[in-house]
Structure 1
């Protein structure tokens, strides 16, 4: 069995990473999923959170928003609405977005508006967490 698989991570605005990988871990609705070469085929929803992948023994980290993943024995495709390296995250802007979302949650909203606001808050908090964990800022 080969010790790598081809990993293709695509954000809605750019190819994020395309190349070999030894290990991939990403968030789903049911928790974190780890992928190694030879993994059983599946398709799943990617939840906002931290995505990490290993190349040549080195872990690389990114904040990912919602998306989809297709896993095959020798190939994995991750499609994400937004994917950012920790150093690409504007922590100040993410903190401001979180504050705006928290403020909106205090006001009366329709159910749909509430879910949109909650999703915005989750995205902002995820970006802050990844930035803080890997950039040692904030």
Structure 2
């Protein structure tokens, strides 16, 4: 039985990671998903949150935004709008984005604007959470 599978993590602006992985954990619409080698094939939605993957016995962490995950027994491809390492995140900028989104939520908005602002707030809070845990 294989102990690793090929993992490819792609952000909209760059390839983030390509290589063998022992385990992958990511947030989905139905909760947290865990992927091991020879996992059953599936395609699912990726929700903004904390991404964890184990390479050479060491856990790596990143903040991810919404996207898709294609799982096959021998390989997994994760596509996300953004993928950021904790050290790449500017904490002051993320805090400012959070405050700006909270202020916008207090104002009257259309439904579309409300959902966009909620997504901005979730992204900022996720970035702050990941940096506070792993920096």
Is TM-score (shorter-chain normalized) higher than 0.5? Answer: yes
Partners of 1:91 and 1:51 in 2: CA distance: 18
* Gapped regions of structure 1 (runs ≥ 5): none
1:110-125 to 2 correspondences below 5 Å: 110-125=110-125
Q: How many aligned positions are there?
A: 135
> The residue matched to 1:70 in structure 2 has which SS?
strand
Q: Which residue of 1 aligns with 2:18?
A: 18
**1:84 aligned partner:** 84
Name 2:127's counterpart in structure 1. 127
CA-to-aligned-CA distance 1:50-92 (integer Å, 9 cap, x gap) = 0010011100000000000000001000001000000000010
Where structure 2 has 5 or more consecutive residues not aligned to the other structure, the ranges are none
Alignment of 1:13-52 (within 5 A): 13-52=13-52
The whole-number CA distance in structure 2 between the counterparts of 1:55 and 1:33 is 17
Partner of 2:93, secondary structure, is helix
Moved over 3 A (4+): none
Using the alignment, how far apart are the partners of 1:78 and 1:5 within structure 2?
13
Indicate the RMSD between aligned Cα atoms, in angstroms: 0.4
